[in-house]
Amino acid sequence: MKVAVIGNGVSAVNTASNLRSLDNDIEIDIFTDEHYHYYPRPRLIDLLADKIILEEIFFYKESWYEEHNINVHLNSPVKELRPEEKEISLFNGERIKYDFLVLANGAVPSLPPIRGIDKRGVFSIRWLDDVLNLKERVKRSGEVIAIGGGLLGLEIAAALQSSGVKTKVIEILPWLLPRQLDEVGGNLLKKILEDRGLEIFTGTPTDEISGDIEVSGVKTRDGRVFKGDTVVITAGIKSSTDLAKNGGLNVNRGVVVDSFLRTSVENIYALGDVAEWNGMVYGIIPPALDQAKIVASNILGENKEYRGTVPSNILKVAGIDLFSIGTVNPDTLCEVFGYINEEKNLYKKFVIKDNKLIGAILLGDRRDAVHIERVVKTGIDISKFKDYILDDSFSWKSVT
């Protein structure tokens, strides 16, 4: 049996690794347009902050792929899917036959319609070469403006700031990390980061990137002008669906998959940032890891269903502990328990529905994160604990 995998990120490599652990004889080929082996995307920030050198970013040594008999075709972008012929064609003209095809080709940065976005000195960060090019740019850059106050934008800004580059953050929404935090937590995080030297402007839509050929600054919709000769845009991602769409597969926001992670063509699977399951494109690592196990098992005939992944993030944003899981901005049918201590930079929030914990935020102290994640995922009745969950002495480990 021959399996072709398009992509070389966490979804692709974990699918290949899981396949190999289940079957020693299956032929596995990975095709990527990058000329680097797999690196975890979060490590790009460590590289940007000079915490690691280039050689340390790669997850596996080249010998690992040889030992596991996984054939990685670097710098080999796929041009076309041919589902009826069960083959893919590369841009170099080569055609590759397969028994099963796995689409794990991820996503690309979503760029907002800002005037001047094509000027020299505007960056988006998604791949290793993006970081290497940005590092070269900031060697001669006076000031960087990061457009976007999500996780990636804040991590980029903090990494640049720590390496001695003055950085501002401009966010269109009213608070930081809108996917992981509510308004109270987002505003506390803003205060903490500003205390550490970052300049942050929330509720500030960008109107134009100014300059002639080169970037000279940013103009916002309220008329303010921020000077800077490098702009980094982090406005989310969009699934890389062109290959699938041109190949006749069912595509919406992502490549549409069923509960077995099959696309509209039976022997083609999709997962990770490129896949849309149950109307969702997750865009985070935990679902990719879960889906990689399902895809590998189903290629080998096990028929396992994917039942979703509760979104959770255990993070260290600019050195600040943060844990966020599930529903953190609930509707009125939920009970909400919250505690904030601005002097100690602590914030806790727990969202309960039908006596089950469905969401939580821990900012500044995430010691109970693993136990809270277990409680959310298992749906334990916590009615008898509700009066105590904000107490300093309460331990989520005791909830069984």
Top pLDDT among 317 and 375 is at 375
Please tell me whether residues 63 and 150 are part of one structural domain. no
Among 217, 233, 249, residue at a domain's last position: 233
Please tell me whether residues 322 and 370 are part of one structural domain. yes
Q: What is the DSSP string of 34-75?
A: SSS----TTHHHHHHTTSS-GGGS-SS-HHHHHHTTEEEETT
pTM: 0.90
* Per-residue model confidence as pLDDT tens digits over 355-384: 999 999 999 988 889 999 999 999 999 999
Please tell me whether residues 90 and 21 are part of one structural domain. yes
Please indicate, yes or no, if residue 46 is contained in any of the structural domains: yes
Please tell me whether residues 324 and 344 are part of one structural domain. yes
Please indicate, yes or no, if residue 307 is contained in any of the structural domains: no
Residue type, position 43, single letter: R
Please tell me whether residues 352 and 290 are part of one structural domain. no
Please tell me whether residues 59 and 86 are part of one structural domain. yes
Please tell me whether residues 126 and 229 are part of one structural domain. yes
Q: Considering only 71-75, 83-87, 175-179, 259-263, which range has the smallest mean pLDDT?
A: 175-179
Please tell me whether residues 25 and 171 are part of one structural domain. no
Domain span including residue 134? 122-233
How many domains does the chain contain in total? 3
Q: What is the mean pLDDT of the chain?
A: 93
Token duo for residue 133:
């090019």
Please tell me whether residues 151 and 227 are part of one structural domain. yes
Q: What angle do CA 247, 251, 257 make, to 5 degrees?
A: 100
| Nearest-angstrom CA–CA distance, 170 and 17 | 40
Please tell me whether residues 100 and 6 are part of one structural domain. yes
Q: Is the pLDDT of residue 106 over 90?
A: yes
CATH code of the domain in which 258 resides: 3.50.50.60
Among 299, 323, 338, residue at a domain's last position: 299
Q: Is the pLDDT of residue 140 over 90?
A: no
pLDDT at residue 295 in the model: 98
Please tell me whether residues 269 and 364 are part of one structural domain. no
What sign does the dihedral 341-344-349-355 (CA atoms) show?
A: negative
CATH code of the domain in which 324 resides: 3.30.390.30
* Per-residue model confidence as pLDDT tens digits over 231-240: 999 988 999 9
Mean pLDDT of 294-320: 87
Q: Is the pLDDT of residue 400 over 90?
A: no
Please tell me whether residues 184 and 199 are part of one structural domain. yes
Please indicate, yes or no, if residue 159 is contained in any of the structural domains: yes
Please indicate, yes or no, if residue 93 is contained in any of the structural domains: yes
Letter string b/e over residues 285-305, b meaning 16 or more CB atoms within 10 A of that residue's CB: bbbbbbbbbbbbbbbbeeeee
H or E element, residue 144 = strand 143-147
Q: Is the pLDDT of residue 86 over 80?
A: yes
| Nearest-angstrom CA–CA distance, 218 and 225 | 6
Q: Is the pLDDT of residue 141 over 80?
A: no
| Nearest-angstrom CA–CA distance, 254 and 333 | 31
pLDDT at residue 345 in the model: 92
Token duo for residue 186:
């987002």
Q: Is the pLDDT of residue 392 over 90?
A: no
Please indicate, yes or no, if residue 206 is contained in any of the structural domains: yes
Please indicate, yes or no, if residue 29 is contained in any of the structural domains: yes
* Per-residue model confidence as pLDDT tens digits over 148-207: 998 889 999 999 988 888 899 999 999 999 888 999 999 999 999 998 888 999 999 999
Please indicate, yes or no, if residue 305 is contained in any of the structural domains: no
Residue 291 banded pLDDT, cuts 50, 70, 90: very high
* Per-residue model confidence as pLDDT tens digits over 323-367: 999 999 887 789 999 999 999 999 999 999 999 999 999 999 888
